[in-house]
Each structure stands twice: as C-alpha cells, then as structure tokens.
C-alpha cells in the first residue's frame, strides 16, 4: 500500500482481532482497488498474489469505473443489483432481486413493471429457457408499445432482446425485423448509449451470419467496432465479443489467418476481464477449436476444446447443451485420430450431458446417440 497514491481509508487490525500475532491483518474500505503484479503458486498449493494499491486518480481505473456505472445505469438500487448479477451470470440472485423489486413497485407504474418483465425474460433467455423468455418479452413489449413513445429506449431494449431470442430460435426474418426496430429508435435518440448502438449493429451482423451472409455480417461488425472503441475500454468484454464475431466471419470467408488473430484477441480480453470459469471464455475457445478443425489442424483444435471443457465444467451454472456439443466435437476428432478409447469416453459424456439439458435439441440428441453407437460397434 502506497499512502502517497491513494485516499482510500485503511487500518491495521493489530490488537483488535483474535488472529495469531504472525497474521498481520489490514481492513480496507469496500471501494479499494488493487492492480495484480504477480501470481505465484507455492509448494503447499497456496497461491501468492502480489498486489499494489491504485491511485484514486488512475486514468484507467477512472475510465473503468465510469464505464461500469454507465452499463449498470442509474435508478433503483435493486434494479442495479439485478443488472450486476446478470452480468456475473448469477441468474438466481438476479431473479431474487427483481422479485423484490416487483413486490415493492406500484402496480400502476407500467414503465417499471414492463422493464422488470423484460429483465425476467432476459434471465430466462440466458438460462436457455426460450419459451418462457418469449412470453415475458411479449408481455413487456405489449405494455411499452401502448405507451406510444417513439423514443422509448426501454422498448428498444425489448426489441433488441426479442431479436436475440429469435436469432437463437433460427427465425432470422423476425430477428432482423426486431433488431431494425431497435436500431430505428437508437439511431434517432441523442440520449442513447453508444454501447447500445454498437451492440445493435453487432446483433444485426449476427443475424446475417446465421443466414450465412458473411460479407454483410462482417460489414455490420465493422460498423460496431469504431463505436465500441470510442465508448469502451480495450479490455471490455463486449469488445472481445465483437472481435470474436469478426474473426468468425473472416474464417467463414476463408480468411483463416486474420480470423484466428481476432479470435485470439477475443480470448485474451475475456481471460483478463472475466472470471476464469465464465462461459464466454469457453465459447471463444470453442470457436478457436472450430477454426483449427476447419483447416484440419486437429491437435490445436483438441487443445482449445479441452480448454473449453475445463471452463464449462467449472462454470457456476453449467450449460449442458454447450458442454455436450464440446464433448461431441472432441469425440469426433479423437475418432478421426484413431484415439478410440478417449473418443468413446467423450461420446458417452456428450450423451450424458445433453440428457441433463433443460431444453435439449432433438437433432443434437439423435446425432450424439448415433455417434456413440457407431463407436460402440
């Protein structure tokens, strides 16, 4: 701790706590920020982390703080806590906060009620419970559209969420329609968050990507990139997502080298900005694995699939559909490399995992079982 660099209050607990004398404890205030300088593993399997206090005037910290405040937004503190929990993939905690909020909200406040229904819908969407998400989004949208406010940014958020959901459901016509509605509101509203505007371009790119129109997809991603660079830090998770999408489009267009470079950028950002067991890290590792598989570099493909499996199995809430897919892809490669025993093990784990999925895809279930049966014959 450098007292010359920080105004953050801290105090020694010597003589106050019941800890052993050799344990020197310091109490820091909740908003204390440290920079990690070194991480070492001791022989006794305890990790030693060297930290240094960061100045209250540190420009990077100030920008990050402003950014987080912007993303979480103003307003009701319970709503803000719910948003934080969603960002951390703590969906049950997020639901609990929004349940508290809805119980304390005046029933006639339709704007807040619609927003809460939208947030409940987004939680269900993130959990892969798409039918429940759709019902909640539609309820929110019906209320918001009746308000007859053409500049309703909450309605733009609901449209955007509907677009994401229909993308997942492979209905690209409806997905594109809702994203265009969101873009129409956001482009003409001077109060719109630049990050939200950039996300809209990114989301439209995702729809074109699903249609396998990779040139249009890349075009929209590239519209989003300068917007993100203007309003977000270089290590922001959304920047990582955009680099991932750009990389995937480039790989699909046959530009494997530059595509892999952008996928690696996405992985690097996610590893420094997200918890080590965050599903988004597994997602980009799977994408890198897919890219290597596409150019028949099977050893590197397996390397990144294994990294994805490690993250997926340690996630706070395991997405069994994604886990099953990673096992399946790994098993297919292992089978091609004539590593039969491990291929069989992963094929069994794929079938077992998809059996635990909340909304398993019937075609996926059939493919995994067929692959397992082929290995067993």
Report pLDDT digits (tens) over 336-374.
999 999 999 999 999 999 999 988 889 999 999 999 999
More confident residue, 326 or 234: 326
**Between residues 236 and 64, the one the model is more confident about:** 236
Over residues 166-189, mean pLDDT: 95
| pLDDT value of position 368 | 97
Q: State the pLDDT at residue 369.
A: 97
- Structure token pair of residue 96: 């609990």
Given this model, what pLDDT does residue 74 score? 75
Asked if pLDDT for residue 12 goes beyond 90, the answer is no
Q: Does the pLDDT at position 6 exceed 60? A: no
Q: Please, is 297 exposed, middle or buried when counting C-beta atoms within 10 Å of its C-beta (0-12, 13-18, 19+)?
A: middle
Residue count of the chain: 377
Question: How far apart, in whole angstroms, are the C-alpha atoms of residue 210 and residue 341?
Answer: 35
pTM: 0.70
Main-chain dihedrals φ then ψ at residue 282, nearest 5 degrees = -60, -40
Q: What share of the chain is helix, strand, coil (3-state, %, to 5)?
A: 65, 5, 25
Collect all residues with Cβ–Cβ distance below 8 Å to 150 and sequence separation of at least 6.
185
pLDDT reported for residue 57 = 73
Region 248-267: mean pLDDT is 97
Q: 311 near 277, Cβ under 8 Å?
A: yes
* Residue ranges covered by each domain of the chain: 10-57
Query: What band does 23 get if pLDDT is binned at 50, 70 and 90?
Result: low
Structural tokens at position 221: 């991603």
The string of pLDDT tens digits covering residues 74-122 is 778 899 999 999 988 899 999 999 999 988 887 778 899 999 999 999 9
Give the pLDDT mean for 228-257: 94
Average pLDDT over residues 22-27: 72
Q: What confidence tens digit (pLDDT) does each residue in 274-306 have?
A: 888 899 999 999 999 999 999 999 999 999 999
């Amino acid at each position: 701790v450098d007292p010359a660099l920080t105004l953050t209050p801290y105090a020694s607990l010597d003589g106050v706590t019941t800890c052993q004398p050799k344990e020197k404890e310091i109490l820091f205030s909740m908003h204390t920020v440290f920079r990690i300088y070194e991480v070492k593993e001791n022989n006794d399997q305890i990790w030693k982390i060297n930290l240094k206090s960061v100045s209250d005037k540190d420009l990077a910290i100030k920008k990050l703080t402003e950014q987080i405040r912007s993303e979480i937004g103003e307003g009701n503190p319970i709503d803000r806590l719910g948003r934080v929990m969603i960002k951390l993939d703590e969906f049950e905690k997020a639901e609990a906060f929004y349940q508290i909020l809805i119980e304390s909200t005046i029933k006639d406040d339709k704007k807040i009620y619609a927003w809460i229904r939208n947030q409940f819908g987004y939680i269900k969407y993130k959990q892969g419970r798409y039918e429940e998400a759709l019902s909640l989004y539609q309820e929110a949208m019906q209320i918001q559209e009746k308000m007859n406010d053409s500049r309703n940014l909450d309605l733009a958020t609901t449209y955007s969420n509907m677009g994401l959901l229909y993308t997942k459901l492979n209905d690209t016509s409806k997905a594109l329609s809702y994203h265009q509605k969101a873009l129409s509101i956001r482009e003409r509203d001077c109060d719109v968050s630049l990050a939200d505007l950039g996300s809209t371009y990114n989301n439209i790119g995702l729809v074109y990507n699903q249609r396998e129109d990779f040139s249009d997809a890349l075009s929209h991603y590239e519209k989003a990139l300068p917007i993100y660079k203007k309003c977000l830090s270089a290590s922001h998770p959304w920047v990582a997502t955009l680099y991932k999408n750009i990389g995937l489009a480039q790989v699909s267009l046959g530009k494997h080298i530059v595509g892999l470079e952008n996928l690696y950028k996405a992985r690097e950002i996610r590893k420094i900005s997200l918890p080590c067991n965050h599903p988004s890290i597994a997602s980009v590792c799977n994408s890198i694995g897919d890219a290597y598989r596409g150019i028949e570099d099977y050893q590197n493909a397996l390397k990144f699939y294994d990294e994805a499996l490690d993250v997926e199995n340690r996630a706070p809430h395991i997405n069994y559909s994604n886990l099953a897919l990673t096992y399946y892809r790994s098993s297919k490669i292992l089978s091609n490399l004539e590593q039969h025993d491990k291929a069989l093990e992963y094929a069994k784990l794929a079938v077992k995992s998809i059996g635990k999925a909340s909304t398993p895809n019937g075609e996926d279930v059939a493919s995994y079982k067929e692959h397992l049966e082929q290995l067993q014959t």
